[in-house]
Protein backbone atom coordinates (compact mmCIF):
# COMPACT_ATOMS: atom_id res chain seq x y z
CA UNK A 1 0.00 0.00 0.00
CA UNK A 2 1.41 3.35 -1.01
CA UNK A 3 0.81 6.35 1.18
CA UNK A 4 0.80 9.85 -0.20
CA UNK A 5 0.93 12.94 1.89
CA UNK A 6 -0.05 16.37 0.69
CA UNK A 7 1.11 19.54 2.32
CA UNK A 8 -1.67 21.92 3.09
CA UNK A 9 -0.91 25.56 2.73
CA UNK A 10 -1.68 27.62 5.78
CA UNK A 11 -1.21 31.38 5.34
CA UNK A 12 -0.65 31.79 9.07
CA UNK A 13 2.19 29.26 9.03
CA UNK A 14 4.15 31.30 6.47
CA UNK A 15 3.77 34.40 8.62
CA UNK A 16 5.14 32.55 11.66
CA UNK A 17 8.08 31.25 9.58
CA UNK A 18 8.92 34.76 8.30
CA UNK A 19 8.77 36.24 11.81
CA UNK A 20 10.96 33.44 13.20
CA UNK A 21 13.54 33.93 10.42
CA UNK A 22 13.62 37.70 11.03
CA UNK A 23 14.02 37.17 14.77
CA UNK A 24 16.91 34.74 14.29
CA UNK A 25 18.63 37.06 11.80
CA UNK A 26 18.49 39.99 14.22
CA UNK A 27 19.67 37.97 17.20
CA UNK A 28 22.49 36.01 15.57
CA UNK A 29 25.71 36.06 17.61
CA UNK A 30 28.06 38.81 16.51
CA UNK A 31 31.65 38.19 15.50
CA UNK A 32 33.89 38.15 18.54
CA UNK A 33 36.41 41.01 18.65
CA UNK A 34 40.06 40.11 19.20
CA UNK A 35 40.48 40.55 22.94
CA UNK A 36 43.93 39.04 23.11
CA UNK A 37 42.49 35.95 24.82
CA UNK A 38 43.16 33.78 21.83
CA UNK A 39 46.33 31.95 20.97
CA UNK A 40 47.95 31.52 17.61
CA UNK A 41 48.53 28.56 15.32
CA UNK A 42 51.87 27.05 14.37
CA UNK A 43 51.86 25.11 11.10
CA UNK A 44 54.84 22.73 11.05
CA UNK A 45 55.90 21.39 7.66
CA UNK A 46 58.14 18.49 8.70
CA UNK A 47 60.01 17.49 5.53
CA UNK A 48 62.32 15.19 7.50
CA UNK A 49 61.88 11.53 8.37
CA UNK A 50 62.04 11.92 12.17
CA UNK A 51 59.03 12.82 14.29
CA UNK A 52 59.76 16.01 16.23
CA UNK A 53 58.64 17.30 19.61
CA UNK A 54 57.96 20.99 19.05
CA UNK A 55 58.48 23.57 21.80
CA UNK A 56 57.91 27.31 21.95
CA UNK A 57 60.67 29.29 23.66
CA UNK A 58 59.53 32.67 24.99
CA UNK A 59 62.03 35.47 25.67
CA UNK A 60 61.50 34.93 29.40
CA UNK A 61 63.25 31.58 29.10
CA UNK A 62 62.10 28.03 29.60
CA UNK A 63 60.07 26.21 26.99
CA UNK A 64 56.53 24.98 26.51
CA UNK A 65 55.78 21.82 24.55
CA UNK A 66 53.25 22.39 21.79
CA UNK A 67 53.02 18.85 20.46
CA UNK A 68 54.57 16.42 18.00
CA UNK A 69 55.17 17.02 14.30
CA UNK A 70 55.11 13.66 12.52
CA UNK A 71 57.81 13.11 9.87
CA UNK A 72 56.95 13.94 6.24
CA UNK A 73 53.65 15.60 7.20
CA UNK A 74 52.20 19.00 8.00
CA UNK A 75 50.86 19.48 11.54
CA UNK A 76 48.89 22.33 13.12
CA UNK A 77 49.75 23.08 16.74
CA UNK A 78 48.19 25.70 19.02
CA UNK A 79 50.29 28.36 20.73
CA UNK A 80 48.57 28.94 24.13
CA UNK A 81 47.08 32.38 24.71
CA UNK A 82 48.94 32.88 28.00
CA UNK A 83 52.19 33.13 26.01
CA UNK A 84 50.84 35.95 23.82
CA UNK A 85 50.15 39.29 25.44
CA UNK A 86 49.96 41.35 22.29
CA UNK A 87 52.85 41.05 19.82
CA UNK A 88 55.38 38.67 21.43
CA UNK A 89 58.81 37.47 20.32
CA UNK A 90 59.01 33.68 20.26
CA UNK A 91 61.42 31.02 19.02
CA UNK A 92 60.61 27.39 18.29
CA UNK A 93 62.72 24.36 19.20
CA UNK A 94 62.34 21.01 17.47
CA UNK A 95 63.75 17.92 19.17
CA UNK A 96 63.75 14.72 17.14
CA UNK A 97 62.32 11.69 18.89
CA UNK A 98 65.24 9.25 19.12
CA UNK A 99 67.70 11.66 17.47
CA UNK A 100 70.52 14.00 18.44
CA UNK A 101 70.11 17.36 16.74
CA UNK A 102 67.71 19.91 18.22
CA UNK A 103 67.53 23.04 16.05
CA UNK A 104 66.00 26.26 17.32
CA UNK A 105 64.44 28.81 14.98
CA UNK A 106 65.18 32.51 14.87
CA UNK A 107 62.94 34.71 16.99
CA UNK A 108 59.77 35.90 15.32
CA UNK A 109 57.06 38.29 16.50
CA UNK A 110 53.72 36.51 16.93
CA UNK A 111 50.41 38.24 17.58
CA UNK A 112 47.23 36.56 18.90
CA UNK A 113 45.30 35.07 15.99
CA UNK A 114 48.38 34.66 13.76
CA UNK A 115 49.20 31.53 11.81
CA UNK A 116 52.96 30.97 11.65
CA UNK A 117 54.60 28.37 9.39
CA UNK A 118 57.76 26.54 10.46
CA UNK A 119 59.51 24.32 7.91
CA UNK A 120 61.80 21.52 9.11
CA UNK A 121 64.05 20.61 6.17
CA UNK A 122 65.09 17.00 5.51
CA UNK A 123 68.28 16.04 7.37
Q: Rounded to whole angstroms, how far apart are CA atoms 24 and 65?
A: 42
For residue 76, being part of any structural domain is answered with: yes
Reported as a pLDDT band with limits 50, 70 and 90, residue 88 is very high
Mean pLDDT score of the chain, rounded to an integer?
78
Q: DSSP assignment of 67-81, as one string?
A: EEE-TTEEEEEEEPG
Reported as a pLDDT band with limits 50, 70 and 90, residue 35 is low
The number of domains in the chain is: 1
For residue 4, being part of any structural domain is answered with: no
For the stretch 42-56, pLDDT in tens is 999 999 999 999 999
Q: Which domain covers residue 53, as residue numbers?
A: 40-120
DSSP 12: H
**CATH number of the domain residue 86 falls in:** 2.60.40.2890
Q: What is the pLDDT of residue 37?
A: 63
Amino acid sequence: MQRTMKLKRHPGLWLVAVIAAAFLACHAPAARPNTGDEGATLVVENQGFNDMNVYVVPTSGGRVRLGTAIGNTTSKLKIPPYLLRGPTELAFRCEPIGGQRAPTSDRITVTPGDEVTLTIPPS
